[in-house]
Every structure is written in C-alpha cells, then in structure tokens.
Amino acid sequence: MKRILTLSCLLLSLTATLAADSGHKIKIILIGDSTTQDRTGWGLGFKQFVDTNRAECINLAMGGRSSMSFMKEGRWTNALALKGDYYLIQFGHNNEPGKPGRSTDMPTFVSDMTKYVDDALAIGAKPILVTPLTRRQWDKENPGKIKSSLEPYAEEVRKIAQAKHVPLVDLHARSIELCEKLGREKCYEFSPTKIVDGTNTTYDGTHLQGIGRVLFAQLVVNELRKVAPELSPVLLAEPRDKNPKLAEDRFDAIVSNDVSANYTNLQAAINAAPDNGSAPFRISIKPGIYQGQFIIPKEKHNIQFLGEDATNTIITYDLNVRETNATSIPRFLGIGMIVLGDDFRAEKITFQNTSGDHGQALALRIDGDRAILKNCRMLGWQDTLRVDNGRDYFTNCYIEGRVDFIYGDATAVFDRCEIHSKNGGHVTAANTPKDHPFGFVFLNCKLTGDANPWNTNSVTPMADLGRPWRPYASVTYLNCELGAHIKPEGWNNWRNPTNELTARYAEYKSTGPGANPDQRFKWTKQLTQEEAAKITLDSVLGGNDHWNPTK
C-alpha cells in the first residue's frame, strides 16, 4: 500500500509540474467556515503563498457554516462544479453543540466529511482534509496551555484521512503548538475584539486578523509541502505580503446578519465606539435588514454608518409614537434610528419606518451637530425625518413621506436630493428658531409625487412645499424641479393666518410643472439673483467653526 501511495504522489507531482509548465493553472479551492475565510481566517494568508503564475486559489469558505449546512445550502455542489484540482476542506467549529441549524452529532460530522472526500475523488480532484483551527481556549488549571473543545473533531478527521488514504493537514495540532509558543498576550495581537452581553469587550479566540492570517496559513503551507509534495512548485517560500489587508480592514466594526461578522447587532457595534471620540469610528453595515430601534448616545461622536448599497442595506422599524413593545425607548417612541451624538455620517443606508399612514412614525431623528448623509434613503409616511438642534447636510439622498415628512428646528441643506410625496400632503414642517437665519435649504433638488391617489375614489393627490410648525419656520428652495403634484399656491399657513406674518418661505428659479411663481401666496417670496447668491453652504452651515461638509 505504501508503495502504491508513493507512486501516486510521484505521478501527481509530475502531473502538477507538467500542468504548471504547460501554462495550465492548478486550481486550489478552499472549503470551510469563517476560520478559513479571507477576512476572519487563514484564507487570505494562504493566497500570499500561491504562485499566481502557476496556480489559482479560490476561497469558497463561508462563515457560520458547519459540514452539514455548507452542503445543505448547495455550496458544495457549486464548488464541485468549478472542477478544482485540489480541495482543502476544514470544518468542525459550527458542528459543536448549541448552534441551531448547524450543530451535528459526531456520526453526522464523520459522514459529512467522508462525503466531501468521496465527492472530490469522484470528479478526479484531490481532497486534502484540514483539522479545525484551534480555538484559543486557555486552560485555567494549566496556564500557558490550550484545552481545545475541537480536539474530538480533529481526531475524527485524522481517522478519515487515514482510512481514505488522503492527505491530512493537522492544523489543529500545529495551531495549538504555535499559540502555546507565542503565549496568551502575543495571541491578542491577531485576535479581533467582540462584544459580550451587549456591553463588555473581549478578545475573539476563534477568528484571525492582521498578521494572524499569514501566521496560521504558514502552518497549512508547511504541512502541504509534506503531505502533498506535488504542490511545492506552486507554493512560494515566503508570502508576498506578511500582513495582507482587505478593504474591510479600514473599518472599526463590521455588522452583518452572517454569524461570522464581529457584530450581528448594530447597537452592539455602536456601543463599542469610544465615548467622545475625536477620530471617525467606521461601522461597515453589510447588505441586510436590521430590524429594531437603535440609538447613538450623545457621548458617541464621529460614528459612521457605511453601507454598500442603500437598496438592500436597511435599518427598519415598524412602530409609531402610539405603539410600544418591550424594547421601546420611552423618550423616543415611534423612532427607528436616533442620533444624539455629533459628527454622524451615513452613506448608502436606508432608514425606514413601516408602521404605515396612521400617525407619526419616524425613520430617522438627528439631534447632533454636523451630520452628513450621502446616497441614503429615508422612507416613511408622517414625520419620516426629524432634524433638531444642529446642522445637517444631505446629498444625493431620497426622502419620501406624506405629512410633514421633513421637519424639525435644525439648519439643514438638502443638496441634489429627490423628495417624494406619497399621496399628497406636506413636504416640510420647519420649527426654525427666530434668531436662526436659515432652516431647511433645498439646492438643485427634484420634488416628485404619486401620479395617482392611493384611494381610487379621491382626486389627484396634491402637496405643498411646507407648513410652519412654529411661527418663524424657514424653508428655501433654490433651482429645484417641482413636479405637478405641488399646489399652485405652493405653501400652507397651518390654518393660522398670523403665521403668514412670520414664516420665511422662499424660492428661486423653481422649474417644472409645479413651479408657479405668479400663483404663489403673496406672503411667500421669490428671491432675486442677488439674494439667492448669498445662500451658500458656508453661509447656511459654516457657523463659528467654519464647517464644510463637502471636505
């Protein structure tokens, strides 16, 4: 048997060498859980050792998957369809008890791992089993030693490799040796942090970051040279980068519904930000729906929500101000996202309240100063967006609602935004203090509306540009395109003629079918070119600190 295996290895080595020399790239496919992924495991580090002129490495590992769930989701079928030459297969972490939909008993784990081997062999590929990367579980009774809960899974993988005569990378044993050599404190250097019980920060003893990606990949490479020597020609002696970076490394926290993320709860990521931080705390929010009420406390400054696509990255809430549940914040009923801290920034995020057209239901409330929202969407009906106290800048955003869906006492600029009225109503309800020269300023915006009424028995829905929540409301539209849904008279006095003496409502060069300067109420204003020229980002938002949101 040994002679046959030796001959087989020689033939595979010759085949690999000939394939590389002939210009055919050897295809190595990584299969596993988050500890094999690029971001949270050794996958990215392994790629640093692959000679890309002679081989390619495709990492199909997926966080939160067990040997069973990876198959059930069709991921293994898709992996086989790629016709890889080698499949490195590592599972065990998510087979452990306590993981609904993923945990398995040991016989199922053995059956799964055996199937991975058989299926790979059936397509002419070479499976290489990898025992699970150790959890850095330090033994309380024997300091300096690791007592890994994954040893039973590693032992079963060793048995399968021996029975099936396939190569084995004993990463479990090698990673324990490395961690014990480095010691607990050194291991912290490549251990991500995570939140426990919503508030306490601790080290993640399972996943990898930074230099850890290459350190543990080196162990895999060293083992491969021994058990699959035919791969040696395509494995570099040194990594191209000893500390490879991912684009995601620039974030301080990553929130995802995938269990492999360092945060699956948005509030926990917010809580992880330092109090009164002077540097941006960047939170990457992966595509998904995040249901609930979230708050950025007043002491949390410089928090940034950074999405990838506003259409599928959604922070949503479903209660209005008259509805509560066990998690409602009493002071902020009916509000999905509450921002009390200064210097908040959001990009490519949707904030929505789905309670419906039956009362005040806020998607977003901002009380802090110097907030910036770029390429975001705010969706609701009544009171969709409330901005109070500070200065806010919205650019290339989409905001929709029906009644007073942009309101508050803040000074805010809406730059090149689409403002959509659902079934008529009132666009704004400003509460501008008397001593503030500006309230809401809309620059080069497009106002759109529903063409048909939601109630088929109603007339065409019409909206006004705003009504004064308080007497000195200030709202200005400059160079905006107004749809046919805007009433000819343009504005509303909120059933109080005395508001006409104090409200500061103005337009400059409105266009579109809703632009009717001659039919506007006489108590509103059409600005001259000279007056309009004085309304700039600096004059509106600059303030004593000369804030410029575009820099």
Residue 241, in any domain of the structure: no
Region 418-433: what's the mean pLDDT?
96
Q: Please, which residues bridge with residue 441 across strands? A: 413, 476
Q: What percent of the chain has pLDDT over 90?
A: 84
53 confidence band (pLDDT: 50, 70, 90):
very high
Residue 210, in any domain of the structure: yes
What letter does residue 549 receive in the DSSP assignment?
Answer: T
State residue 19's pLDDT score. 52
**Same structural domain, 231 and 335:** no
State residue 4's pLDDT score. 42
pLDDT of 111 higher than 90? yes
11 confidence band (pLDDT: 50, 70, 90):
very low
The CATH number of residue 457's host domain is 2.160.20.10
Residue 149, in any domain of the structure: yes
pLDDT of 7 higher than 50? no
State residue 201's pLDDT score. 67
**Same structural domain, 413 and 388:** no
pLDDT of 371 higher than 60? yes
Residue 499, in any domain of the structure: yes
State residue 146's pLDDT score. 96
Residue that finishes a domain, picked among 360, 394, 428:
394
CA angle 293-297-299, nearest 5°?
Answer: 165
Other C-beta atoms closer than 10 Å to the C-beta of 203 total: 13
10 confidence band (pLDDT: 50, 70, 90):
very low
State residue 249's pLDDT score. 85
State residue 200's pLDDT score. 59
The answer for 144, left when phi > 0, alpha when psi is -120 to 50, beta otherwise, is left
pLDDT of 13 higher than 80? no
Nearest to 157 by CA among 132, 186, 134: 132
Residue that finishes a domain, picked among 203, 236, 269:
236
Question: Tens digit of pLDDT for each residue in 373-408?
Answer: 999 999 999 999 999 999 999 999 999 999 999 999
458 confidence band (pLDDT: 50, 70, 90):
low
pLDDT of 423 higher than 60? yes
State residue 456's pLDDT score. 66
248 confidence band (pLDDT: 50, 70, 90):
confident
Region 492-520: what's the mean pLDDT?
97
457 confidence band (pLDDT: 50, 70, 90):
low
Domain of 219 in residue numbering reads as 2-236
Question: Tens digit of pLDDT for each residue in 193-202?
Answer: 765 554 556 8
Exposure string over 163-190, b if 16+ CB within 10 A, otherwise e: ebebbbbbbbbbbbebbbeeebeebeeb
Burial classification of residue 290, based on how many CB atoms lie within 10 Å of its CB (0-12 exposed, 13-18 middle, 19 or more buried): buried
**Same structural domain, 411 and 387:** no
State residue 463's pLDDT score. 97
Please list the active-site residues.
383, 404
What's the token pair of residue 207?
């996943």
Question: Tens digit of pLDDT for each residue in 147-181?
Answer: 999 999 999 999 999 999 999 999 999 999 999 99
Question: Tens digit of pLDDT for each residue in 60-91?
Answer: 999 999 999 999 999 999 999 999 999 999 99
**Same structural domain, 263 and 185:** no
**Same structural domain, 66 and 211:** yes
State residue 293's pLDDT score. 97
Q: What is the pTM of this model?
A: 0.78
Task: Give every strand in the sheet of 126-130, ordered side by side.
Answer: 55-59, 26-32, 86-90, 126-130, 168-169
**Same structural domain, 42 and 176:** yes
Average pLDDT, the chain: 93
Region 412-430: what's the mean pLDDT?
97
Residue that finishes a domain, picked among 212, 236, 260:
236
**Same structural domain, 497 and 482:** yes
**Same structural domain, 334 and 415:** no
What's the token pair of residue 335?
């509000």
Residue 246, in any domain of the structure: no
**Same structural domain, 49 and 128:** yes
What letter does residue 154 receive in the DSSP assignment?
Answer: H
pLDDT of 29 higher than 80? yes
Question: Tens digit of pLDDT for each residue in 508-527?
Answer: 999 999 999 999 999 999 99
As for how many domains the chain has, the answer is 3
State residue 189's pLDDT score. 94
State residue 222's pLDDT score. 98
Residue 11, in any domain of the structure: yes
Q: What percent of the chain has pLDDT over 70?
A: 93
Q: Of 253-257, 336-340, 351-355, 440-444, which range is least confident?
A: 253-257
pLDDT of 6 higher than 70? no
- Spell out the alpha helix ranges (H) of 262-327: 266-271
Residue 534, in any domain of the structure: yes
Region 112-128: what's the mean pLDDT?
98
**Same structural domain, 381 and 404:** no
Q: Higher confidence at residue 345 or residue 254? A: 345
**Same structural domain, 402 and 341:** no
pLDDT of 8 higher than 50? no
The CATH number of residue 124's host domain is 3.40.50.1110
Q: How far apart are CA 233 and CA 23, in angstroms?
A: 13
State residue 460's pLDDT score. 79
Residue 247, in any domain of the structure: no
**Same structural domain, 346 and 463:** no
